[in-house]
Amino acid sequence: MRPQLVLAGNPNVGKTTLFNALTGSLAKVSNYPGITVDRYKGELDLPGGVVADVTDLPGTYSLNARSGEEQIALEAIGGLDGAPQPDVVVVCIDATQVARSAYLLTQIQELGARCVVALTMVDEAKDAAPDVPALRALFGCEVVAVTARTRVGLPELVAAIDRARHKERASVWRWTPSPALRAHLDAVREALPAAWRTGHGDDALALWALTCVDGEDELEVPAELRNATSGRTLDAQSDDEAVLARWKWLDREVPRLLAKKQVDRRLTQRIDRILMHRGLGFIAFLGVMTVMFMSLFWWSEPVIDLIDRAFKAAGAELHGRLGEGIFTDFLVDGVIGGVGSVLVFLPQILMLFLFLGFLEDCGYLARVAYLMDRIMRTMNLHGRAFVPMLSGFACAVPAIMATRTMERRRDRILTMMVVPLMTCSARLPVYTLIIAALIPGSGLTQALLMVGMYVFSVATALAAAWVMSKTVKPLKAKRLPFLIELPPYRWPRWRDVLRMMWSKSSVFLREAGTVILACSIALWALLYFPRELPADSPDYDALIERAPTDEAKQALKDERQALQLENSYGGRLGHAIEPAIAPLGFDWKIGIGIIGAFAAREVFVSTLGVVYAVGGEADEASEPLRTALRDAKKPDGTRAYTALVGLSLMIFFALACQCMSTLAVVKRETGGYAWPLFLFAYMTALAYVVSLAVYQVGRLLGFG
β-partners of residue 5 are: 54, 88
**H helices, E strands: number in the chain:** 34, 6
Residue 599 lies in a domain: yes
pLDDT the model gives residue 33: 36
Which residues does residue 6 pair with via DSSP β-bridges, in sequence order? 55, 89
Give the pLDDT confidence score for residue 305 in this predicted structure.
82
First to last CA, the chain: 75
Question: Is 608 inside a domain boundary?
Answer: yes
Q: What type of residue is 380?
A: N
Residue 502 lies inside a defined structural domain of this protein? no
Does residue 397 belong to any structural domain of this protein? no
**pLDDT below 70 — which residues of the chain?**
25-39, 65-70, 214-219, 231, 233-236, 259-265, 293, 296-297, 341, 345, 405, 407, 442, 477-485, 504, 507-508, 510-513, 515-516, 613-622, 704
* pLDDT tens figures, 356-382: 778 877 888 778 777 877 778 888 887
User: Are 238 and 102 part of one and the same domain?
Assistant: no
Q: Are residues 583 and 612 in the same domain?
A: yes
- Look at residue 280 and tell me if it is in a domain: no
pLDDT score of 142: 94
**pLDDT recorded at residue 28:** 42
Domain residue limits at 219: 179-245
Q: Are residues 226 and 115 in the same domain?
A: no
Q: Rounded to an integer, what is the distance from CA 48 to the centroid of its chain? A: 43
Both 139 and 218 in one domain: the answer is no
Residue 381 pLDDT: 84
Using the 3D structure, point to which of 139, 164, 189 is the last residue of a domain. 164
Does 575 share its domain with 686?
yes
Residue 230 shares a structural domain with residue 145: no
Confirm if 620 and 663 have CB atoms less than 8 A apart.
no
Indicate if 81 and 206 belong to the same structural domain.
no
Of 219, 245, 271, the one marking the end of a domain is: 245
Please give the helix or strand (H or E) that residue 44 lies within, else none: strand 40-46
Distance, CA of 42 to CA of 16 (rounded, Å)? 11
User: Do residue 183 and residue 159 come from a single domain?
Assistant: no
Contact at 8 Å (CB) between 419 and 461? yes
Does 76 share its domain with 184? no
**Exposed e or buried b per residue across 518-552, where buried means at least 16 C-beta atoms within 10 angstroms of its C-beta:** ebbbebbebbbeeeeeeeeeeebeeebeeeeeeee
Q: For residue 523, which of 334, 292, 321, 296 has the smallest C-alpha distance? A: 334
pLDDT of residue 32: 29
Summarize pLDDT for 169-206 with one digit per residue, the tens.
Answer: 889 999 999 988 888 888 888 888 887 887 788 888 88
Which string of DSSP letters, residue by residue, matches 48-97? GGEEEEEEEPPP-S-S---SHHHHHHHHHHHT-TTPPPPSEEEEEEETTS
Q: How far apart are CA 283 and CA 158, in angstroms?
A: 47
Per DSSP, helices labelled H in 276-345 are 280-294, 301-322, 326-329, 337-343
Q: Which of 403, 368, 406 is nearest to 388 (CA)?
A: 403
Total-model pTM: 0.67
384 in any annotated domain: no
127 and 151 in a single domain? The answer is yes
Question: Rounded CA gap, 64 and 214, in Å?
Answer: 12
**What pLDDT was estimated at residue 189?**
87
Q: Is residue 680 part of a domain?
A: yes
93 and 136 together in one domain = yes
Please count the CA atoms within 13 angstroms of the CA of 532 that sit on its side-chain side.
Answer: 7
Give the containing element (helix H, strand E) for 7.
Answer: strand 4-9
For strands 40-46 and 50-56, give the pairing: antiparallel
Strand partners, 117: 91, 143
Domain count for the chain, please give it: 3
Residue 523 lies in a domain: yes
> Does 639 lie in the same domain as 518?
yes
